[in-house]
């Protein structure tokens, strides 16, 4: 018996990295998991590896129509969605004066608009499921500033703010909404950073995607009195 038997979950950016670790853990707990991503090959391979209850859905999270189709497909495949993990995200590098308007908009479109669209499109399905949980992937960059990644920081502060608003709006429907704030996690996104980047942290190493995934599972299954809450896992950076 898994803790998520008969639950239907959508995990965006689920084809690799942190999202793939979340997909694996939710599937191991019995959930039917929709892997929503733009990486068709990686997403399909992961779905095949996990077997029948997992399914890949091509979704660009910045696209409203795409979200409508994805939620409809998830419902047709397995029933109302009761878990949504808005994890898809991109980084954008460049100072205030270096970053182009186009780059700024793309980061906001994926990270912030994508999360907003996901919550508003899936909300009726979560209601039909009788309630559920939304977990939004923010960042340490949603709690503090970082030079050289202004659009990313803005998007992750926005995700944190949207999380609290949605928590207030959806509490009456039995839907909890929380944000996760990882520090440096070893994935493709941090491939350009070596161990010196984390050497000064109280826990002087990169976190793993599995450590983030376990926190997401905890929020879904155990943190039943938490909504609008921030879960920070940063190796002690903010301590
Ligand atoms: P990653 O680059 O390995 O994975 C990101 C996933 O999102 C990929 O599968 C990618 O194809 C997907 N994606 C990108 N744009 C998309 C779009 N428009 N529509 C659908 N899917 C899209 O990176 P990682 O590290 O696994 O990142 C996952 C989340 O964790 C992101 O939101 C990131 O900002 C956040 N995060 C990562 C940290 C790190 O140190 N790696 C630290 C804090 C937060």
User: How does residue 52 score in pLDDT terms, banded at 50, 70 and 90?
Assistant: confident
Q: And the tokens for 113?
A: 């608009």
pTM (2 decimals)?
A: 0.99
Mean pLDDT taken over the chain: 98
Active site residues: 152
Name the phi and psi angles at 107, rounded to 5.
-65, -45
Residue owning the nearest CA to atom 34 of ligand 1 = 89
Considering the domain boundaries, does residue 165 fall inside one?
Answer: yes
Residue 181 and residue 55: Cα distance in Å, rounded? Answer: 27
Decide which of 53 and 217 is more confident. Answer: 217
Q: Rounded to 5 degrees, what angle do the CA atoms 89, 217, 158 make?
A: 35
- Look at residue 143 in the predicted model and tell me its pLDDT: 98
The 10s digit of each residue's pLDDT in 22-31 is 999 999 999 9
DSSP state of 194: -
- What's the ipTM? 0.99
Range 92-118 average pLDDT: 97
Check pocket membership of 16 for ligand 1, CB cut-off 6 A.
yes
Considering the domain boundaries, does residue 164 fall inside one?
Answer: yes
Range 194-212 average pLDDT: 98
- Nearest atom (ligand 1) to Cα of 88: 7
Q: Are 232 and 215 in contact (CB under 8 A)?
A: no
Q: And the tokens for 43?
A: 């997403």
Q: How many domains does the chain have?
A: 1
User: How does residue 82 score in pLDDT terms, banded at 50, 70 and 90?
Assistant: very high
pLDDT-above-90 percentage for the chain:
99
Considering the domain boundaries, does residue 209 fall inside one?
Answer: yes
Considering the domain boundaries, does residue 22 fall inside one?
Answer: yes
Considering the domain boundaries, does residue 125 fall inside one?
Answer: yes
Residue 127 and residue 119: Cα distance in Å, rounded? Answer: 12
Rg (CA), the chain: 17
Considering the domain boundaries, does residue 190 fall inside one?
Answer: yes
Q: The domain spanning residue 196 has which CATH number?
A: 3.40.50.720
pLDDT-above-70 percentage for the chain:
100
Distance 51 CA to ligand 1 centre (A): 23
Residue owning the nearest CA to atom 36 of ligand 1 = 139
> Exposure pattern of 209-238 as b/e (b: 16+ CB <10 Å)?
bebbbebbbebbbebeebbbbebbbbbebe
Assess whether pLDDT exceeds 90 at residue 38: yes
Considering the domain boundaries, does residue 3 fall inside one?
Answer: no
Classify strands 83-86 and 8-12 as parallel, antiparallel or unpaired. Answer: parallel
Check pocket membership of 110 for ligand 1, CB cut-off 6 A.
yes
Q: Starting from the edge strand earliest in sequence, which strands make up the sheet with 230-233, in order?
A: 55-58, 32-37, 8-12, 83-86, 132-137, 175-182, 230-233
Residue owning the nearest CA to atom 44 of ligand 1 = 139
Detail the DSSP E strand segments found in 87-193: 132-137, 175-182
The 10s digit of each residue's pLDDT in 166-176 is 999 999 999 99
In DSSP notation, 27-64 reads HHTT-EEEEEES-HHHHHHHHHHH-TT-EEEE--TT-H
Considering the domain boundaries, does residue 101 fall inside one?
Answer: yes
Domain that holds residue 105: 8-233
The 10s digit of each residue's pLDDT in 144-153 is 999 999 999 9
User: How does residue 53 score in pLDDT terms, banded at 50, 70 and 90?
Assistant: confident
Range 155-164 average pLDDT: 98
Check pocket membership of 61 for ligand 1, CB cut-off 6 A.
yes
Cα dihedral sign for 13, 220, 164, 118? positive
Q: And the tokens for 14?
A: 């689920």
Distance 171 CA to ligand 1 centre (A): 27
Distance 215 CA to ligand 1 centre (A): 16
Check pocket membership of 90 for ligand 1, CB cut-off 6 A.
yes
Distance 172 CA to ligand 1 centre (A): 30
């Amino acid at each position: 018996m898994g803790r998520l038997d008969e639950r239907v979950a959508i995990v965006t950016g689920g084809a690799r990295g942190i999202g793939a670790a979340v997909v694996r853990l939710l599937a191991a707990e019995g959930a039917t998991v929709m892997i929503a991503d733009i990486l068709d090959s990686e997403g399909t391979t992961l779905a095949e590896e996990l077997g029948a209850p997992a399914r890949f859905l091509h979704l660009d999270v910045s696209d409203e129509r795409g979200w409508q189709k994805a939620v409809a497909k998830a419902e047709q495949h397995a029933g109302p969605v009761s878990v949504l993990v808005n994890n898809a995200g991109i980084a954008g590098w460049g100072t205030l004066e270096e970053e182009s308007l186009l780059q700024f908009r793309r980061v906001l479109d994926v990270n912030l608009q994508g999360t907003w669209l996901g919550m508003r499109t899936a909300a009726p399905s979560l209601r039909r499921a009788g309630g559920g949980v939304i977990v939004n992937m923010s960042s340490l960059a949603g709690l503090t500033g970082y030079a050289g990644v202004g659009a990313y920081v803005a998007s992750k502060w926005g995700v944190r703010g949207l999380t609290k608003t949605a928590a207030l709006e959806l509490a009456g429907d039995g839907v909890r909404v929380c944000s996760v704030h990882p520090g440096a996690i070893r994935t493709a996104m941090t491939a350009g950073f070596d161990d010196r980047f984390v050497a000064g942290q109280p826990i002087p190493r990169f976190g793993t995607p599995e450590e983030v995934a376990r926190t997401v599972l905890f929020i879904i299954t155990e943190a039943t009195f938490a909504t609008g809450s921030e879960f920070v896992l940063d190796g002690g950076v903010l301590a």
